[in-house]
Structure 1
Amino acid sequence: MRDAFVKTPLLLALPFLMAIQWSLMALPANAKVGQHSADITTPFGPPERELMVEVEGGKVYVRINGLSHTDAIPVIFVHGGPGGTHNGFASMLGLANERMVIMYDQLDSGKSEQPNDAANWRVERFVESLDKIRHALNIKRWHIVGHSWGSALALEYTAKYPQHTVSTVLGGTFISTPHWIMDANLLVQAAPEETRKTLKQCESDAPPADPICQEAYTVLYSRYYQPVAPTKAALAYYKNVGGKGFNPLIYNQMWGPSEFSSTGVLKHYDATHLLSDIDGSRTLFMIGQYDSARIDTVQNYIKLTPGAELAVVPGGAHGFYRDRPLITQAILQDWLTRQDAAIEVNR
């Protein structure tokens, strides 16, 4: 699979990527803290604070907004990939009006260090990196929002550290490679023959022009889906964010060559058994109406997580943070507020 914003700006199908690949300057390895005068709660606004956090294998980039809300429960966003970046989440900064919003780039991608050492490409190391960030920021408990591959990390973290997790959002839900591949194949099989041929070309090393692939992926999900181009603010952010963007090396080694084929470290990954270990009343599954995370499969996950809720973003595909940012933020704001209230009641 490849980055949706690299080959085709409106590509909807890649199951893990919330990343933008831009060959820009990398952030220095030393920690950097800065204050910005621009509105920090505007979508794709600047961070209030930036730092590099030491984790196993190197240092990861972390950005924070909403620092003044010291009494509110923070939320951290966990991006997809592997090899993606935090960039797609920057549309959610309106949440910083009420709480601290934390975003980061996983090791080997974005503005984090990129040792590209295969010894680091273990699920448990990614999970422990999250807790290293929590320790570095001196946070006792937080909400964790994962998307796609980030959902797997959010689930693993919640199961291991329930005492530090107030609530969990499993967005564009990937928690099982066998289930994901089955769903991807079902989507392709249901597409017209000409679309299937085009999709195969789009996943090759010599893809056709972007508009051709865009049309094919739109047909794959629904003729009713209307992809939304990135806003000027989003494009400016992607262009100026810095770092090395999406890392195809870790993506190929951990996942595989295309959306429909997993040959890497995650080939047999399946964390569905962990769903029974977490508190369903504190779990939200969140998908787009035309998501590659098929609703039938996610409904089965919910059955394994008693008390969990499901939110479907109307008109959104897998990249619903980009497709429908306003309603996505509203859903998250409502969820986080209700979970905060539940904590207060139980104190």
Structure 2
Amino acid sequence: MPIFSAADGTRLAYHDRGEGDPLVVLPGGPMRASSYLGNLGGLDTGRRLVRLDLRGTGDSAAPADPATYRCDRMVADVEALRVRLGLDRMDLMGHSAGGSLAMLYAARHPERVRSLVLVTANPWALGTTATPEDRRSAALLRKGEPWFEEAFRALESWLDGTADPGPEMAPLFYGRWDAAAQEHEARADEEFNDEAAEVYGSEGAYDPPATLAALSRLTAPVLLLTGELDGAPNPELAHRTAAVFPHAEVAVQPGAGHYPWVDDPAWFADRVSRFLDGRPQLDGRP
């Protein structure tokens, strides 16, 4: 497990697997250890996956100053990783909340981004987010599944502010609530740094007008991959986010939720690989 030092001296870890051109991957959560990403559906068969453990998560050390958990302040950690890897330009992926970190990095260091992949990315850095109605509408697509009633009650309680999000909601984040999804979800509690998550998007983390202006000039190609059944972001929000970039495409993975590589690893890995390699899509995929 390689270790390097951030600009403030914090010791950061990354996990390196596979062979081929590097793909630097930023986890979501926010502030979840990168172990939940696994091999991203088998992307490591043709790519060298470099998963960063954000400060205070996974095998990375906690910083001396907890204020550095803020999303914009961790852009420097991503840049330090690029330098450590010796890359002039890099392919960069951000999942969920990590999508905002990836967008901030691309806005600050556009010349260092060869391509950008945003997987079910929450566009907080752009000043937008999924609405309660987005989440309800996506949840109602699952009506009739055996766990739906309990999950939907928990969702409503969270949206109306009467309860924190609970484990009953977990099936809504997956396209299929099968053994693979349940095993993936079971590890979540030990992978999160909840205190750091409170700081991630705190006041000052985002400057949407500046980020929008910078990303409107980004020359790198961008893929926004979203799940057909995801509510945050839903496909409509992914398309609106794509409109920010000059060279963006959207892929909607059929039957997938917030963790599309868990729902259909082969579909996910093939679609991302084709984008990264500049190959055309097959089978009428979006």
TM-score w.r.t. length of structure 1: 0.65
Deviations 1:93-139 (A, max 9, x none): 73333332211210011111123733313333211111111111222
Q: CA RMSD in A?
A: 3.3
Q: How do 1:142-221 and structure 2 match up within 5 A?
A: 142-176=90-124, 178-180=127-129, 183-188=130-135, 190=137, 197-201=153-157, 210=167, 212-214=168-170, 217=172
Number of equivalent positions: 262
2:212 is equivalent to residue 265 of structure 1: no
SS at match of 2:238: helix
Q: Distance in 1 between matches of 2:260 and 2:123?
A: 18
The residue aligned with 1:44 is none
Deviations 1:259-308 (A, max 9, x none): xxxxx33786534343302126x111111111220222221222222331
After the TM superposition, which parts of structure 1 deviate over 4 Å for at least 4 consecutive aligned residues? 188-197, 200-208, 231-236, 266-269
2:200 is equivalent to residue 250 of structure 1: no
Larger radius of gyration: 1
2:227 is equivalent to residue 288 of structure 1: yes
Q: Distance in 1 between matches of 2:240 and 2:106?
A: 19
Structure 1 runs not aligned, ≥5 long: 1-49, 256-263, 340-347
Given that 1:175 and 1:272 are in contact with CA atoms closer than 8 Å, whether structure 2 keeps it comes out as no
TM-score w.r.t. length of structure 2: 0.77
What amino acid maps onto 2:54 in structure 1?
Answer: Q
2:13 is equivalent to residue 61 of structure 1: yes
Given that 2:39 and 2:49 are in contact with CA atoms closer than 8 Å, whether structure 1 keeps it comes out as no
What amino acid maps onto 1:283 in structure 2?
Answer: V
Q: How do 1:264-343 and structure 2 match up within 5 A?
A: 264-265=202-203, 270=208, 271-279=211-219, 282-291=221-230, 292-338=232-278
Q: Distance in 2 between matches of 1:298 and 1:93?
A: 21
Given that 2:106 and 2:215 are in contact with CA atoms closer than 8 Å, whether structure 1 keeps it comes out as no
Structure 2 runs not aligned, ≥5 long: 141-148, 280-286
The residue aligned with 2:283 is none
2:74 is equivalent to residue 131 of structure 1: no
Given that 2:227 and 2:254 are in contact with CA atoms closer than 8 Å, whether structure 1 keeps it comes out as yes
Percent identity between the two aligned chains: 22
Q: Distance in 2 between matches of 1:130 and 1:169?
A: 15
Q: 1:112 aligns with which of 57, 60, 70?
A: 60
Q: Distance in 2 between matches of 1:318 and 1:231?
A: 11
Q: Distance in 2 between matches of 1:300 and 1:231?
A: 28
